[in-house]
Structure 1
Protein backbone atom coordinates (compact mmCIF):
# COMPACT_ATOMS: atom_id res chain seq x y z
CA UNK A 1 0.00 0.00 0.00
CA UNK A 2 1.37 3.42 -1.01
CA UNK A 3 0.94 6.20 1.50
CA UNK A 4 1.53 9.81 0.47
CA UNK A 5 3.29 11.76 3.18
CA UNK A 6 2.77 15.48 2.87
CA UNK A 7 5.48 17.74 4.25
CA UNK A 8 6.05 21.45 4.46
CA UNK A 9 7.04 22.95 1.12
CA UNK A 10 7.79 26.54 0.05
CA UNK A 11 7.23 27.65 3.64
CA UNK A 12 3.67 26.27 3.58
CA UNK A 13 2.61 23.78 6.24
CA UNK A 14 1.07 21.37 3.74
CA UNK A 15 -0.39 18.94 6.31
CA UNK A 16 -2.21 21.84 7.99
CA UNK A 17 -3.35 23.15 4.59
CA UNK A 18 -4.96 19.80 3.74
CA UNK A 19 -6.37 19.43 7.27
CA UNK A 20 -7.98 22.85 6.86
CA UNK A 21 -9.47 21.87 3.50
CA UNK A 22 -10.85 18.66 5.02
CA UNK A 23 -12.31 20.56 8.00
CA UNK A 24 -14.04 23.10 5.73
CA UNK A 25 -15.44 20.32 3.52
CA UNK A 26 -16.88 18.68 6.66
CA UNK A 27 -18.22 21.97 8.07
CA UNK A 28 -18.62 24.72 5.40
CA UNK A 29 -19.51 27.31 8.07
CA UNK A 30 -15.80 27.35 9.02
CA UNK A 31 -15.12 29.21 5.76
CA UNK A 32 -17.18 32.28 6.75
CA UNK A 33 -14.76 35.13 7.55
CA UNK A 34 -15.08 38.85 8.22
CA UNK A 35 -11.99 41.03 7.91
CA UNK A 36 -11.94 44.58 9.29
CA UNK A 37 -9.88 47.73 9.07
CA UNK A 38 -10.18 50.99 11.00
CA UNK A 39 -9.07 54.23 9.35
CA UNK A 40 -8.46 57.67 10.84
CA UNK A 41 -7.81 60.89 8.96
CA UNK A 42 -4.44 62.50 9.81
CA UNK A 43 -4.41 65.66 7.67
CA UNK A 44 -5.04 66.68 4.09
CA UNK A 45 -5.09 63.48 2.02
CA UNK A 46 -3.11 61.53 4.63
CA UNK A 47 -4.89 58.81 6.64
CA UNK A 48 -3.85 55.82 8.75
CA UNK A 49 -5.45 52.38 8.82
CA UNK A 50 -5.14 49.83 11.58
CA UNK A 51 -5.83 46.15 10.91
CA UNK A 52 -5.89 43.67 13.75
CA UNK A 53 -8.82 41.43 14.55
CA UNK A 54 -11.01 39.36 12.28
CA UNK A 55 -13.70 36.75 12.63
CA UNK A 56 -13.07 33.35 11.07
CA UNK A 57 -13.39 29.62 11.64
CA UNK A 58 -16.44 30.39 13.82
CA UNK A 59 -14.51 32.51 16.31
CA UNK A 60 -12.95 35.90 16.88
CA UNK A 61 -9.20 35.91 16.20
CA UNK A 62 -7.02 36.49 19.26
CA UNK A 63 -3.62 35.70 17.75
CA UNK A 64 -2.87 39.20 16.44
CA UNK A 65 -1.83 41.06 19.55
CA UNK A 66 -0.36 44.04 17.70
CA UNK A 67 -2.21 45.85 14.92
CA UNK A 68 -0.76 46.26 11.44
CA UNK A 69 -0.67 49.98 10.65
CA UNK A 70 -0.62 51.42 7.14
CA UNK A 71 -0.57 55.04 6.05
CA UNK A 72 -1.97 56.28 2.76
CA UNK A 73 -1.52 59.66 1.12
CA UNK A 74 -1.43 61.29 -2.28
CA UNK A 75 1.73 62.64 -3.91
CA UNK A 76 2.30 66.38 -3.92
CA UNK A 77 1.19 66.65 -7.54
CA UNK A 78 -2.25 65.47 -6.33
CA UNK A 79 -2.41 67.84 -3.32
CA UNK A 80 -0.93 65.38 -0.83
CA UNK A 81 2.39 65.29 0.97
CA UNK A 82 3.59 61.94 -0.34
CA UNK A 83 3.74 60.41 3.16
CA UNK A 84 2.74 56.97 1.88
CA UNK A 85 1.39 55.12 -1.19
CA UNK A 86 -1.94 56.20 -2.60
CA UNK A 87 -4.98 54.05 -1.80
CA UNK A 88 -5.11 52.77 -5.39
CA UNK A 89 -1.47 51.66 -5.11
CA UNK A 90 -2.50 49.44 -2.20
CA UNK A 91 -4.80 47.64 -4.66
CA UNK A 92 -1.75 46.82 -6.79
CA UNK A 93 0.03 45.46 -3.72
CA UNK A 94 -3.09 43.53 -2.73
CA UNK A 95 -3.45 41.71 -6.04
CA UNK A 96 0.28 40.91 -6.19
CA UNK A 97 0.26 39.61 -2.61
CA UNK A 98 -2.94 37.60 -3.06
CA UNK A 99 -1.79 35.94 -6.28
CA UNK A 100 1.62 35.17 -4.78
CA UNK A 101 0.14 33.71 -1.57
CA UNK A 102 -2.22 31.53 -3.60
CA UNK A 103 0.65 30.44 -5.82
CA UNK A 104 2.67 29.40 -2.76
CA UNK A 105 -0.21 27.35 -1.38
CA UNK A 106 -1.18 25.74 -4.68
CA UNK A 107 2.40 24.87 -5.63
CA UNK A 108 2.97 23.36 -2.20
CA UNK A 109 -0.25 21.34 -2.34
CA UNK A 110 0.76 19.97 -5.74
CA UNK A 111 4.29 19.09 -4.60
CA UNK A 112 6.06 21.76 -6.66
CA UNK A 113 9.05 23.47 -5.04
CA UNK A 114 9.34 27.11 -6.02
CA UNK A 115 12.77 28.68 -6.36
CA UNK A 116 11.86 32.27 -7.14
CA UNK A 117 8.69 34.25 -7.77
CA UNK A 118 8.50 37.93 -8.66
CA UNK A 119 5.66 39.96 -10.07
CA UNK A 120 5.16 43.44 -11.42
CA UNK A 121 1.74 45.07 -11.34
CA UNK A 122 0.80 48.16 -13.34
CA UNK A 123 -2.51 50.00 -13.23
CA UNK A 124 -3.76 52.77 -15.51
CA UNK A 125 -6.07 55.54 -14.29
CA UNK A 126 -7.41 58.58 -16.12
CA UNK A 127 -7.71 61.13 -13.30
CA UNK A 128 -10.28 63.13 -15.28
CA UNK A 129 -12.96 60.93 -13.72
CA UNK A 130 -11.81 61.50 -10.13
CA UNK A 131 -11.24 65.22 -10.72
CA UNK A 132 -14.65 65.64 -12.33
CA UNK A 133 -13.11 67.23 -15.44
CA UNK A 134 -14.46 64.44 -17.64
CA UNK A 135 -17.31 62.81 -15.71
CA UNK A 136 -17.73 60.09 -18.37
CA UNK A 137 -14.32 58.67 -17.39
CA UNK A 138 -14.44 56.05 -14.67
CA UNK A 139 -12.87 56.92 -11.32
CA UNK A 140 -10.84 53.74 -10.97
CA UNK A 141 -8.35 51.75 -12.94
CA UNK A 142 -9.10 51.30 -16.61
CA UNK A 143 -6.75 48.33 -16.70
CA UNK A 144 -4.36 46.36 -14.50
CA UNK A 145 -1.55 44.15 -15.77
CA UNK A 146 0.26 41.54 -13.69
CA UNK A 147 3.39 39.85 -14.97
CA UNK A 148 5.19 37.02 -13.19
CA UNK A 149 8.73 35.74 -13.34
CA UNK A 150 8.82 32.27 -11.79
CA UNK A 151 11.18 29.33 -11.44
CA UNK A 152 10.60 26.01 -9.76
CA UNK A 153 11.11 22.28 -10.05
CA UNK A 154 8.36 21.87 -12.66
CA UNK A 155 8.12 22.43 -16.39
CA UNK A 156 6.97 25.71 -17.90
CA UNK A 157 3.41 24.51 -18.55
CA UNK A 158 2.96 23.37 -14.94
CA UNK A 159 4.28 26.68 -13.57
CA UNK A 160 1.89 28.59 -15.84
CA UNK A 161 -0.99 26.39 -14.66
CA UNK A 162 -0.13 27.17 -11.02
CA UNK A 163 -0.43 30.90 -11.69
CA UNK A 164 -3.67 30.36 -13.63
CA UNK A 165 -5.13 28.40 -10.69
CA UNK A 166 -4.00 31.07 -8.24
CA UNK A 167 -5.75 33.68 -10.39
CA UNK A 168 -8.97 31.63 -10.46
CA UNK A 169 -8.92 31.32 -6.64
CA UNK A 170 -7.76 34.87 -5.77
CA UNK A 171 -10.21 36.92 -3.70
CA UNK A 172 -8.53 40.18 -4.73
CA UNK A 173 -8.56 39.26 -8.43
CA UNK A 174 -12.26 38.42 -8.08
CA UNK A 175 -13.13 41.75 -6.46
CA UNK A 176 -11.08 43.77 -8.96
CA UNK A 177 -12.34 41.92 -12.03
CA UNK A 178 -15.98 41.36 -10.97
CA UNK A 179 -16.62 44.16 -8.51
CA UNK A 180 -18.54 43.80 -5.28
CA UNK A 181 -21.23 45.74 -3.51
CA UNK A 182 -19.98 48.36 -1.07
CA UNK A 183 -22.34 49.92 1.44
CA UNK A 184 -21.35 53.29 2.92
CA UNK A 185 -22.95 54.42 6.19
CA UNK A 186 -22.48 57.86 7.78
CA UNK A 187 -22.70 58.80 11.46
CA UNK A 188 -22.29 62.58 11.82
CA UNK A 189 -20.84 63.47 15.22
Structure 2
Protein backbone atom coordinates (compact mmCIF):
# COMPACT_ATOMS: atom_id res chain seq x y z
CA UNK A 1 0.00 0.00 0.00
CA UNK A 2 1.31 3.43 -0.85
CA UNK A 3 0.72 5.78 2.03
CA UNK A 4 0.85 9.52 1.59
CA UNK A 5 1.91 10.12 5.17
CA UNK A 6 5.48 11.16 5.97
CA UNK A 7 6.09 8.05 8.04
CA UNK A 8 4.55 4.64 7.92
CA UNK A 9 3.35 3.41 11.29
CA UNK A 10 3.99 -0.32 11.28
CA UNK A 11 1.59 -2.62 13.03
CA UNK A 12 3.33 -4.16 15.96
CA UNK A 13 2.91 -7.84 16.46
CA UNK A 14 1.11 -8.75 19.63
CA UNK A 15 1.22 -11.89 21.71
CA UNK A 16 -1.70 -14.29 21.52
CA UNK A 17 -2.60 -13.26 25.06
CA UNK A 18 -2.63 -9.54 24.14
CA UNK A 19 -4.73 -10.31 21.05
CA UNK A 20 -7.21 -12.35 23.12
CA UNK A 21 -7.49 -9.54 25.67
CA UNK A 22 -8.08 -6.90 23.00
CA UNK A 23 -10.64 -9.00 21.12
CA UNK A 24 -12.48 -9.87 24.33
CA UNK A 25 -12.54 -6.25 25.49
CA UNK A 26 -13.74 -4.98 22.11
CA UNK A 27 -16.51 -7.58 21.95
CA UNK A 28 -17.67 -6.82 25.49
CA UNK A 29 -17.63 -3.07 24.86
CA UNK A 30 -19.71 -3.42 21.67
CA UNK A 31 -22.15 -5.76 23.39
CA UNK A 32 -22.61 -3.19 26.18
CA UNK A 33 -23.05 -0.26 23.74
CA UNK A 34 -25.61 -2.12 21.66
CA UNK A 35 -27.48 -3.41 24.72
CA UNK A 36 -27.71 0.19 25.99
CA UNK A 37 -29.07 1.44 22.65
CA UNK A 38 -29.53 -0.75 19.56
CA UNK A 39 -28.91 2.30 17.35
CA UNK A 40 -25.25 2.08 18.41
CA UNK A 41 -24.91 -0.92 16.09
CA UNK A 42 -25.46 1.30 13.04
CA UNK A 43 -22.20 2.68 11.63
CA UNK A 44 -21.56 4.90 8.63
CA UNK A 45 -18.15 4.97 6.99
CA UNK A 46 -17.10 7.84 4.74
CA UNK A 47 -14.16 7.76 2.34
CA UNK A 48 -13.27 10.59 -0.04
CA UNK A 49 -11.11 10.42 -3.14
CA UNK A 50 -9.48 13.13 -5.26
CA UNK A 51 -8.12 12.52 -8.75
CA UNK A 52 -4.31 12.83 -9.08
CA UNK A 53 -1.87 11.98 -11.86
CA UNK A 54 -3.17 10.26 -14.95
CA UNK A 55 -5.92 8.12 -13.39
CA UNK A 56 -4.75 7.91 -9.78
CA UNK A 57 -6.80 8.73 -6.70
CA UNK A 58 -5.75 10.07 -3.34
CA UNK A 59 -8.05 8.46 -0.79
CA UNK A 60 -8.87 9.91 2.62
CA UNK A 61 -10.39 7.55 5.17
CA UNK A 62 -10.52 9.13 8.60
CA UNK A 63 -6.98 10.13 9.53
CA UNK A 64 -5.50 7.84 6.88
CA UNK A 65 -4.46 8.77 3.37
CA UNK A 66 -3.42 6.39 0.63
CA UNK A 67 -2.99 6.26 -3.12
CA UNK A 68 -4.81 4.11 -5.66
CA UNK A 69 -3.60 3.87 -9.26
CA UNK A 70 -3.66 1.66 -12.33
CA UNK A 71 -0.82 -0.07 -14.14
CA UNK A 72 0.56 1.63 -17.24
CA UNK A 73 -1.46 -0.69 -19.50
CA UNK A 74 -4.64 0.82 -18.03
CA UNK A 75 -3.44 4.45 -18.40
CA UNK A 76 -2.01 4.69 -14.91
CA UNK A 77 1.37 5.57 -13.48
CA UNK A 78 1.59 2.24 -11.57
CA UNK A 79 2.31 4.21 -8.40
CA UNK A 80 0.01 2.12 -6.20
CA UNK A 81 -2.32 -0.88 -6.29
CA UNK A 82 -5.40 -0.64 -8.51
CA UNK A 83 -8.96 -0.25 -7.21
CA UNK A 84 -9.71 -3.93 -7.78
CA UNK A 85 -6.53 -4.93 -5.95
CA UNK A 86 -7.64 -2.80 -3.01
CA UNK A 87 -11.04 -4.49 -3.18
CA UNK A 88 -9.37 -7.89 -2.92
CA UNK A 89 -7.15 -6.50 -0.16
CA UNK A 90 -10.24 -5.33 1.70
CA UNK A 91 -11.67 -8.83 1.43
CA UNK A 92 -8.45 -10.44 2.68
CA UNK A 93 -8.00 -8.03 5.59
CA UNK A 94 -11.64 -8.32 6.65
CA UNK A 95 -11.34 -12.10 6.60
CA UNK A 96 -8.25 -11.93 8.85
CA UNK A 97 -10.15 -9.77 11.35
CA UNK A 98 -13.23 -11.99 11.38
CA UNK A 99 -11.16 -15.21 11.60
CA UNK A 100 -9.36 -13.82 14.64
CA UNK A 101 -12.57 -12.49 16.19
CA UNK A 102 -14.49 -15.76 15.89
CA UNK A 103 -11.52 -17.97 16.75
CA UNK A 104 -11.37 -16.06 20.02
CA UNK A 105 -15.13 -16.35 20.56
CA UNK A 106 -15.11 -20.10 19.82
CA UNK A 107 -12.03 -20.83 21.94
CA UNK A 108 -9.85 -21.76 18.97
CA UNK A 109 -6.22 -20.81 18.49
CA UNK A 110 -4.75 -19.32 15.34
CA UNK A 111 -0.97 -19.29 15.43
CA UNK A 112 -0.63 -17.89 11.90
CA UNK A 113 -3.08 -16.93 9.20
CA UNK A 114 -2.45 -16.04 5.58
CA UNK A 115 -5.25 -15.40 3.10
CA UNK A 116 -4.99 -15.06 -0.66
CA UNK A 117 -7.80 -13.67 -2.80
CA UNK A 118 -7.70 -14.02 -6.56
CA UNK A 119 -10.26 -12.41 -8.82
CA UNK A 120 -11.02 -12.78 -12.52
CA UNK A 121 -12.08 -9.67 -14.40
CA UNK A 122 -13.00 -9.29 -18.07
CA UNK A 123 -12.23 -5.70 -19.16
CA UNK A 124 -14.46 -5.72 -22.25
CA UNK A 125 -17.32 -3.98 -20.42
CA UNK A 126 -14.92 -1.49 -18.77
CA UNK A 127 -13.75 -0.38 -22.22
CA UNK A 128 -17.21 -0.50 -23.83
CA UNK A 129 -16.29 -3.37 -26.15
CA UNK A 130 -19.03 -5.73 -24.96
CA UNK A 131 -21.90 -4.52 -22.78
CA UNK A 132 -23.25 -8.00 -22.03
CA UNK A 133 -20.82 -9.02 -19.29
CA UNK A 134 -20.03 -7.72 -15.85
CA UNK A 135 -17.78 -4.71 -15.24
CA UNK A 136 -16.50 -6.26 -12.02
CA UNK A 137 -15.11 -9.60 -10.98
CA UNK A 138 -16.93 -12.60 -12.40
CA UNK A 139 -15.15 -15.03 -10.10
CA UNK A 140 -13.26 -14.62 -6.82
CA UNK A 141 -11.40 -17.37 -5.01
CA UNK A 142 -10.25 -17.10 -1.40
CA UNK A 143 -7.64 -19.46 0.05
CA UNK A 144 -7.12 -19.45 3.81
CA UNK A 145 -4.01 -20.97 5.35
CA UNK A 146 -4.36 -21.32 9.12
CA UNK A 147 -1.94 -22.95 11.51
CA UNK A 148 -2.66 -23.79 15.09
CA UNK A 149 -3.32 -26.64 17.51
CA UNK A 150 -6.98 -27.21 16.62
CA UNK A 151 -8.30 -29.86 14.24
CA UNK A 152 -8.97 -29.32 10.55
CA UNK A 153 -12.66 -29.89 11.29
CA UNK A 154 -12.67 -27.10 13.91
CA UNK A 155 -11.00 -24.70 11.48
CA UNK A 156 -13.52 -25.67 8.77
CA UNK A 157 -16.36 -24.83 11.17
CA UNK A 158 -14.61 -21.52 11.90
CA UNK A 159 -14.36 -20.82 8.16
CA UNK A 160 -18.11 -21.38 7.78
CA UNK A 161 -18.80 -18.94 10.64
CA UNK A 162 -16.46 -16.37 9.09
CA UNK A 163 -18.21 -16.65 5.72
CA UNK A 164 -21.52 -15.85 7.43
CA UNK A 165 -20.17 -12.84 9.35
CA UNK A 166 -17.53 -11.14 7.17
CA UNK A 167 -18.83 -7.70 6.05
CA UNK A 168 -16.59 -7.40 2.99
CA UNK A 169 -17.33 -10.96 1.85
CA UNK A 170 -21.00 -9.98 2.13
CA UNK A 171 -20.31 -7.04 -0.24
CA UNK A 172 -18.79 -9.41 -2.79
CA UNK A 173 -21.46 -12.11 -2.42
CA UNK A 174 -24.63 -10.03 -2.34
CA UNK A 175 -26.11 -7.15 -4.24
CA UNK A 176 -25.93 -3.87 -2.29
CA UNK A 177 -28.11 -0.91 -3.24
CA UNK A 178 -25.88 1.93 -4.43
CA UNK A 179 -27.11 5.37 -5.35
CA UNK A 180 -25.11 8.04 -7.11
CA UNK A 181 -25.36 11.73 -7.72
CA UNK A 182 -23.39 14.37 -9.53
CA UNK A 183 -22.63 17.43 -7.43
TM-score by length of 1: 0.82
The alignment yields a C-alpha RMSD, in angstroms, of: 1.6
Paired residues for 1:37-76 under 5 Å: 37-52=47-62, 67-76=63-72
User: Of the candidates 135, 139, 143, which is equivalent to residue 131 of structure 2?
Assistant: 135
Residue 161 (structure 1) aligned with residue 171 (structure 2): no
Name the structure 2 match of 1:179: 175
The DSSP-based 3-state class of the residue aligned with 1:96 is: helix
Aligned to 1:58: none
Q: CA offset at residue 10 of structure 1?
A: 4.5
Indicate whether 1:34 and 2:44 are aligned: yes
Instruction: Say whether the 8 Å CA contact 2:68–2:81 is kept in structure 1.
Output: yes
Shift of 1:25: 3.8
TM-score (norm 2): 0.85
Answer whether contact 1:99 1:166 (CA < 8 A) is retained: yes
**Residue aligning to 2:8:** none
List 4+ stretches of structure 1 deviating above 6 A.
none
| Alpha carbons of structure 1 residues 44 and 9: separation in structure 2 relative to 1, 3 Å | closer
- Preserved contact between residue 117 and residue 151 of structure 1 (Cα < 8 Å): yes
Q: Which residue of 1 aligns with 2:112?
A: 116
Q: CA deviation at 1:13?
A: 3.2
Task: Kindly name which structure, 1 or 2, has the bigger radius of gyration based on alpha carbons.
Answer: 1
Query: Would you say how many aligned residue pairs link Structure 1 and Structure 2?
Result: 167
Residue 34 of structure 1: SS of its match in structure 2?
Answer: coil
Query: What 5-or-longer segments of structure 1 have no aligned partner?
Result: 1-6, 53-66
The aligned counterpart of 1:20 is: 30
The 1-side partners of 2:80 and 2:21 are apart by: 30
Contact 2:53 2:77 survives alignment (8 Å): no
Give the SS at the match of 2:60.
Answer: strand
* Structure 2 unaligned spans of 5+: 1-16
